[in-house]
Structure 1
Amino acid sequence: MVNRVVLFVIDSVGIGALPDAEKFGDVGANTLGNIAKAEGGLHLPNLISLGLGNIDGIVGIDPIEAPLGTYGRSEEVSQGKDTTTGHWEIAGLHLTKPFKTYPDGFPDAVIKAFEEKIEKKTLGNKAASGTAIIEELGEEHLQTGYPIVYTSADSVFQIAAHEEVIPIEELYQICKIAREIMMGDHAVARIIARPFVGSLGSFTRTSNRRDFSLNPPEETVLEIAKKEGLDVIAVGKIEDIFNGQGITEAVHTEDNMDGIDQTIHYLKKENKGIIFTNLVDFDSKYGHRRDPKGYKQALEEMDKRIPEILKSLKKEDMIMIVADHGNDPTFKGTDHTREYIPILIYGEGIQANVNIGTRKSFADIAATISDILNIPTTGKGESFKNLMIK
């Protein structure tokens, strides 16, 4: 019997372009496979022991004889390749309409309304790399005190500010104002606070980032679990992605290692239900910055911690290691990539060496969690519980 599921998202670790990748300009993308190719292989013995190399169609990771876990991959139904879309589908929702994006910056009317509300002018208003735009406009920001507004290929309205110019709490308040404006016709998936410190030439972003999301449009497996009296513990940016909906307890994290530490901390406590963790560094520090070497190192660092995580599992626990989209650091541009995600499952009650094949929707993960915890489903996805339970 399983009464606690650890849902562990290794953010952006895609494993090959989806059949519809052409629609997204992502033919040839393969986050894991292309990192392995570019960096002379990947040393991931613990993920491999769970079945990573045995997943159908995986490139750059060799299979083994007898993996310890259940393994497979999944396609995505929702029309997007962003963080919110991926996580919401993992939690049991399908988004048929993609979130709005602003590749040429935000309309004048939006910026004017925002400036009036915050009583400050703004800088930027264009699509840009977060590290590049603070180098470009950081000095002007220090001189004027005006926040830097920018976006990306994702559905985001990002606000960068130096922590000594606009204090953290004020920046969060500004983001809440932007959230009120970016609704209805201009609704974006997330408003993101992007604080930084330092001086020109050495600006660095801090871990005080916060995301202000939309509420999911329908009930997720998290809300259902909470309603059923279970714990839903959010580690990392999960609370932000779901705008707190369906969360009973949350902790934000500084980096991947902190995310693992916090997950282990909650595993050692007495709780039942779902521990939902996101490790964002792969995406934010290495995928978007097109740094395959850094991405490889981060993967190998995480892999070293897997035994510690598994050792912390109790008898009635199960861990599901998945991703939410791709972000191939060898690919063109700086955007996410439309890819299959891996699914690795391990626990005392889970079958070893079972291939669940290619799932048609990330929502199969939510359906399986509902099935395992014996709670209602969101109505999306198909459970694969019967394939993997001993």
Structure 2
Amino acid sequence: MTNIDRVIMIVLDSVGIGELPDAAEYGDKGSNTLGNIVKNCKGINLPNLCRLGMGKIDGVDYLSVPEHIVGSYGRMDEVSKGKDTITGHWEIAGLQLAHPFPTYPDGFPKEVLDEFEKLTGRGVLANCAASGTEIIKEYGEEHMKTGKLIVYTSADSVFQIAAHEELVPLEELYRICSIAREMLQGDHMVGRVIARPFIGEPGNFTRTPNRRDFSAEPTSDTILDIMSKKGLDVIAVGKIEDIFSKKGVTLAEHTKNNMDGVDVTLKFMAQKNTGMIFTNLVDFDMVFGHRNNPEGYKQALEEFDNRLPEILSAMGDNDMLIITADHGCDPTTPSTDHSREYVPVVIYGKGIKEDVNLGTRKTFADIACTVAEVFNAGNIFPGRSFLREIIK
């Protein structure tokens, strides 16, 4: 049906565009990550995203609308229960979750930590919900004196393990996380076990870029599996490989930050591959959203927008670009957690119609349905392809 032979999908991690109808059930009434950043910072300069149609998405009345829109655009509702990274990405890839992953606002039960200590041979510090930077400030010195691991969580379904790189070498920390991942199943199947290495001295600890996520394995096939089984490339950039527990991924490269993520995406775009390049740009969420830094978030969005012309120029005649998000993380609200929001979807390519409003999609999985149709994989996901609406 189409001449498209490659999809470049970029997830702007946490760039939500307004509360979902059920946001109040999640404590997120009034959240609007992008809208509130624009309001708080008295404007934002995103000319390239706006040229793709970002300012014409339903509810986005705070961005400029140029005369000539070159992309198709819309917003997506989330069917899955939850508002975390895995839930959002899995639904984008076609897998909806009926039940949210478990969370531990009061820390993990004794039986979980007892088993963890038994399996790793190491004691545990903290065991609470906390900010990652604050927890190493509070427990880092004791960790260095005792060798005990700093275990903590957040509002997300995560089991996070912080350790000093000079005390617990990276490979050892990753091994410990693998043990925890294998252990945390059934009722305690958290979405992610996260390695949180840091360096420095007491009073001056700093987290390093060597974070690694050990995710729960998708419970059924996603668009990644469908494509890789057809012999297509599924290239994971950033933490995509971790989010899908490597399932369906044919090649992966981790990145240090957003701009490195763009560089790596461009590197793969310059190579001969057929299928999908799937990129996550995590700084919006990790560095600015969770730390309630609207000004930094705004600058990061403008930095990405400045790189967008490079991405558009690197596209071949048979490429399709999809830019979307996985949830919100409004840096202007008192909460430092993710927020339950609509996410944008903008699509661009030589074979894509200009200025088509896709309205409000009922599920993130419409993306998986669309990509499946591009590659003649059949509509096996719960959703509706929008390919026929946007293809020339």
TM-score normalised by length of structure 1? 0.99
| Partner residue, 1:203 | 205
Describe the SS at the equivalent of 2:220.
Answer: coil
Describe the SS at the equivalent of 1:22.
Answer: helix
Describe the SS at the equivalent of 2:204.
Answer: coil
Q: Which runs of 5+ in 2 are unaligned?
A: none
Contact 1:32 1:60 in 2 (8 A): no
| Partner residue, 2:220 | 218
| Partner residue, 1:350 | 352
Q: Which runs of 5+ in 1 are unaligned?
A: none
Q: CA deviation at 1:372?
A: 1.2
- Over aligned residue pairs, what C-alpha RMSD do you find? 0.8
| Partner residue, 2:37 | 35
Contact 1:224 1:376 in 2 (8 A): no
1:231-310 paired onto structure 2 within 5 Å? 231-310=233-312
Q: Matches of 1:198 and 1:61 in 2, distance apart?
A: 42
1:138 is aligned, of 133, 137, 140, to: 140
Contact 1:182 1:188 in 2 (8 A): yes
Q: Matches of 1:379 and 1:242 in 2, distance apart?
A: 17
| Partner residue, 1:375 | 377
Q: Matches of 2:8 and 2:380 in 1, distance apart?
A: 19
Describe the SS at the equivalent of 1:64.
Answer: coil
Deviations 1:269-305 (A, max 9, x none): 0000010000000000000011111101111111100
Q: CA deviation at 1:59?
A: 4.0
Q: CA deviation at 1:181?
A: 1.5
Q: CA deviation at 1:122?
A: 0.9
Contact 1:93 1:378 in 2 (8 A): no
Contact 1:234 1:247 in 2 (8 A): yes
Q: CA deviation at 1:40?
A: 1.1
| Partner residue, 2:48 | 46
Q: Partner letter of residue 48 of structure 2? A: N
Deviations 1:151-192 (A, max 9, x none): 001000000011001000000000011112111121101000
The percent identity for this pair of structures is: 60
Deviations 1:80-133 (A, max 9, x none): 100000000000011011111111000011101101111111111000011110
Q: Matches of 1:8 and 1:18 in 2, distance apart?
A: 22
| Partner residue, 2:192 | 190
2:155 is aligned, of 153, 156, 179, to: 153
1:87-166 paired onto structure 2 within 5 Å? 87-166=89-168
Deviations 1:31-81 (A, max 9, x none): 000000111111111111111101011142132332110010000000110
**Alignment coverage as a number of residue pairs:** 390
Q: Partner letter of residue 116 of structure 1? A: K
Q: CA deviation at 1:332?
A: 2.0
Contact 2:53 2:69 in 1 (8 A): yes
Describe the SS at the equivalent of 2:234.
Answer: strand
1:313-328 paired onto structure 2 within 5 Å? 313-328=315-330
1:357-368 paired onto structure 2 within 5 Å? 357-368=359-370
Contact 2:51 2:65 in 1 (8 A): no
| Partner residue, 2:172 | 170
Instruction: Compare 295-304 and 64-73 and name the one that shifted more.
Output: 64-73
Deviations 1:325-376 (A, max 9, x none): 0000001221100000000110100011110110000000000011112123
Describe the SS at the equivalent of 1:96.
Answer: coil
Please list every run of at least 4 consecutive aligned residues from structure 1 whose deviation after the TM superposition is greater than 6 angstroms.
Answer: none
Contact 1:221 1:377 in 2 (8 A): no
Describe the SS at the equivalent of 1:185.
Answer: helix
2:58 is the counterpart of 1:56: yes
| Partner residue, 1:24 | 26
Q: Partner letter of residue 374 of structure 2? A: I
2:9 is the counterpart of 1:7: yes
Describe the SS at the equivalent of 1:234.
Answer: strand
1:85 is aligned, of 67, 79, 87, to: 87
Describe the SS at the equivalent of 1:97.
Answer: coil
Deviations 1:249-282 (A, max 9, x none): 0000000001000000000000000100000000
Describe the SS at the equivalent of 2:320.
Answer: strand
Contact 1:286 1:329 in 2 (8 A): yes
